[in-house]
Chain A
Amino acid sequence: MKLWHSYRGAEEEALEKSAALFEQQTGEKVDLLAIPNDVLGDKLTAAIPHGVGPDVFIFNHERLRSFQHLGIVTASDGSIDKSAYFANAVDALSVDGKTYGYPLSLKCLALYFNTRLVPRPPADTTELERLLPGLSRPDENRFGLAYETGNFYFHAPFLFGFGGDLFDAGGRATFDTKGMVRSLEYVKRLQDSRFIPMETSGALVKSLFNDERAAMVVSGPWFAGEIAPSVKYGVAQLPRNSETGRPMSPFLGVEAAFVSPRSAQLPQAQALARFLSVGAASRLRAVTGRQVPANAAAYEDSAVQEDSLISSFRQAAANATPMPNTLEMARVWEPMKLALRAVLQGGVAPAEAGALADRRYRALHRERPPDASPVPYLAVGALALVAGGAYLARKPRALLPFRRRYPDVARAAVYTGPAVAGLLVLVAVPFVVGISLSLFHHEAGSYSFVGLANFADILASRGYRISEPLSFYFTLVVTVAWTLVNVVLHVGLGLFLAILLKEPLLKLRGVFRVLLIVPWAVPNYITALMWKGLFHRQFGAINGFLVLLGLEPVSWFTRFSTSFAANVATNTWLGFPFMMVVALGALQSIPQDLYEAAEVDGASKWVQFRRITLPLLRPALLPAVILGSVWTFNMFNIIYLVSGGEPGGSTDILVSEAYRWAFQRNEQYGFAAAYSVLIFFVLLGWSTVTKRVTRATDELMG
């Protein structure tokens, strides 16, 4: 049996032990597969319907409703003993009156505090605010509190503490509420007072706490495993909000073992999932994995009772707000992230952030377009086929018989056959399927034919203003600017360096050349992550330089211009060596005597460059430039990993926008495919125009 999960470290170890126990007891072999948290969901939704997924998988209950829509989870009613678990955990797993999966552990946020710095944790926000000034020394990178400020999951306790509601009575998300404004103002004040760090990532939180530079941290049970042994810490509930008297209630997440309906051995799979959720496995999870069991009986174990971490989290979980497993909830993250970051980065006042989030929420929540009849489209397609056939048939007969015109046809077929077959199956078919997907709407696992509605929505910029980052036109302009700037820099820098490397007086030419092509050899996702680190607001080397020069550090990803510049810098570093090498080769092919002739004619270096080098380089550089611009236009990795579209999706280019529609916004594959088709047409048009223009100039030049 196959079991997929995203555990690491101690949690993984606990699961492995439990699986081994199960094997011992039943003789069933269990294959465990750990998959990174951020890709596990997509893998599950892709693999299970194709029958290649696991029998059992462990996942947060948050996406349960979407899993249920997709039919990749089996109900556990009849097999589950609901009384064995905490009631709110079982509730979290029910959809439309049925229960899915077996609750394993509870996840919510609590307050970790360094006992050396904070002997007694704050019970309410008044106490917290009294503590913070003494614990924070911003000039030494010391902070009273650290958490992932840009992530709504971590902001939710503040929101709920201020009495903000996320959903109205009708189940729709609401953002423009008083609680929202107050919570944002509060957090913004903490940041402006420099009690909490800016642009905080999980990695930063961990490193600050382990270096004892963050006295308190808001995080979940998983964080315990990340803490260095040298750091003495305690865990407490999040403080009560002194202004409202409400607890800062975090989201409750329930991790559960789900059974795939495609499993070939359903009873055994159910047995395994149940086994993992109770009894010895549950105790192992608490003791070894230090997770918070959802199984009530686990707490009878003395080892579990003595573990203050687990008991603290159990208490925190009692106060937690179960996270809705609705599709609406899934749509909240991106708008909230946008609003949070906008406020923290200072671009938007807290009072306006709710409206911003609301607008994004409505834009992302595309209403399903009405079904269209495929008949007219099929008719047009058939007509095109007939017309094409007629055109081919009417083509005047060739002067020579086919065999004489193409004597090599048989051999050519043999030589190209394998490549053509491969390209047809693995490139052309996905391409055609991709294009036809653009005529469908995808929702919860089923496709419906909507004709050109996706295109109409995109091109009419329905749901948002043209000047907003979500609009196709805005993104197109950004993409074109991105491509232009990059290609100009690549070619300029590459050519410049190539000419320097050609200089006859240069010593160590080979060494320079080797060093300058290093960026090419580095995989580009590594490059992207590397540069993202360099641009970090507080710990990046670029800001290190600025400080060295006596300048203010720059918050690179909070403004469009600097964020765009960071992307460009990364991509320039990545791409200039290719152009340099092409230019080197092209320079080599220019006969030296042309320069000698020019020198005899008295031409200056500049004139030689303009009149000899450039025109003669053109034929060699042009294909590279066309190819390079196509690559840059679709350079997904850099945008996605460096700026991530920040701020507010404004630095996203068309491909990353398409990617988000496909994989981050409820799998709107059809809409994303329409984006891809538009990208394709833009590039096709561009390459046709370039070819025309160059052909025209070539004719002019003879």
Chain B
Amino acid sequence: MPPAREPPVSEVVLTGIQKSFGANPIVKGVDLRVAQGEFLVLVGPSGCGKTTLLRLIAGLETIDAGELTIGGRRVNDLPPRERDVAMVFQSYALYPHMSVRENLAFGLALRKMPKAEIDARVAEAASLLELSGLLERKPKALSGGQRQRVAMGRAIVRRPKLFLFDEPLSNLDTALRVQMRGELARLHRKLATTMIYVTHDQVEAMTLATRVAVFNAGVLQQVGAPLALYDRPGNRFVAGFLGSPAMNFLDVRREGASLAGKGFALAVPDGLPPNEGPELLVGLRPQDLVVGSAGPLQGQVEAVERLGFDGYAYLSSPAGPVAARFDKGTNVAVGDSVRVSPVRDAVHAFTADGSRALRHPFESVAREAAS
């Protein structure tokens, strides 16, 4: 492996970035700071504007309002080639009329780099990505995974300040995707360059990111370390987006010491601010709900997913659909009427409209342990 290079200064700062297409606002004022060497994953459902945000950073779209700086320099009005940014496209966008070598060398040749250096860089990137034997092939003679690596190679040879990835793994099958995820992570460790990665896949977000930014409807919902977002989602959207199966949400009303929903009641958890409510929203992750013969929630089993060690049951309950975990040994069949109970202190609580989290689970446990 070649020696690690000093990564270039490449802090990316977005301030009040806005973009609309015609009368359609797509990005509605985003503030975000991506630190030097960070691997930031922008995650959100399709059509949320995350790809547009990425293209704004790349310079493929013009910014309507706000300020974008890369490495301390304002780049709003710079064309892409002057921003020193590389991008990997979802479709890879390999030039079909060029060999792998030419694809890799294209950007360098455009910069009039000496031939010897181009060759060296191509060779380096090729060996890093295990493409050395494929350099003379045309893209259509490559497998999906190989094309993907060429697309990354094309970004790497440039040694840019900043890498941008637009759902680069979404065209691969599951096994390859897992493998490429690993390679991406390794790459980031090695290059230590700032990377911004767009995906709708929460697993990629959770596994790759140093920080995750959840995006929805043109608005940044929450930014933070993957586990922090999982444990302490700031609103209903983030809570529901991260985690699979998705979190169960139940409407409740605070009635004294209990939270009453349709056909069930839970004890008011610790740490729930007393002045909020009475209408509230409770979130329970399926992993924290156990199917059994007892528990506050009752429902009819509609579908069962057995994953081996455990499984999930999907119930219809008076309060709405609920997903819950069961152990291997538990007997659950479609049509059964079962009860589920949350594990201790598993309750997320939100304002009734879901816009703000009021309480996260296990914090009291953690506090107890700390004290």
Contact = CB atoms under 8 A, between A and B. Distances in A.
Q: Do A and B interact directly, with beta carbons closer than 8 Å?
A: yes
Interface of A: 399, 407
B175 interface: no
A381 B62 CA distance: 43
B1 interface: no
Interface in B7-23: 22-23
Interface string B213-226: 00000000000000
B25 to A, nearest CB: 12
A407 B23 contact: no
3 contacts: A399-B22, A399-B23, A407-B62
A518 B22 CA distance: 50
A325 to B, nearest CB: 68
Interface string B330-368: 000000000000000000000000000000000000000
Which secondary structure dominates where chain A touches chain B? loop
A408 to B, nearest CB: 11
Interface in B257-277: none
A316 B164 CA distance: 96
Contacts of B62: 407
Contacts, number: 3
A272 B309 CA distance: 113
Contacts of A407: 62
List the 3 shortest-distance A-B pairs measured between CB atoms, nearest first. A399-B23, A407-B62, A399-B22
Interface of B: 22-23, 62
Contacts of A399: 22-23
A496 B23 CA distance: 48
A235 B62 CA distance: 89
A399 B22 CA distance: 8
A397 to B, nearest CB: 14
Contacts of B23: 399
A396 B18 CA distance: 25
B64 to A, nearest CB: 8
Nearest to B62: A407
B258 to A, nearest CB: 52
A403 to B, nearest CB: 10
Nearest to B20: A400
Nearest to A399: B23
A399 B25 CA distance: 13
B24 to A, nearest CB: 11
Nearest to A407: B62
Nearest to B22: A399
A589 B299 CA distance: 50
A539 to B, nearest CB: 54
A12 B23 CA distance: 76
A407 B79 CA distance: 13
A427 B22 CA distance: 35
B19 to A, nearest CB: 12
A407 B64 CA distance: 12
A407 B62 CA distance: 9
Nearest to A400: B22
A399 B64 CA distance: 14
A484 B41 CA distance: 60
A399 B23 CA distance: 8
A32 B177 CA distance: 80
B167 to A, nearest CB: 24
A359 to B, nearest CB: 64
A601 B314 CA distance: 34
A10 to B, nearest CB: 60
A407 B61 CA distance: 11
Contacts of B22: 399
B23 to A, nearest CB: 6
B34 to A, nearest CB: 27
A399 B20 CA distance: 12
A596 to B, nearest CB: 23
A407 B21 CA distance: 13
A401 to B, nearest CB: 12
A400 to B, nearest CB: 8
A228 to B, nearest CB: 61
A398 to B, nearest CB: 11
Nearest to B23: A399
B78 to A, nearest CB: 15
A351 B62 CA distance: 84
B60 to A, nearest CB: 12
B26 to A, nearest CB: 14
A436 B22 CA distance: 41
A407 B22 CA distance: 13
B22 to A, nearest CB: 8
A91 to B, nearest CB: 76
A262 to B, nearest CB: 57
A399 B24 CA distance: 12
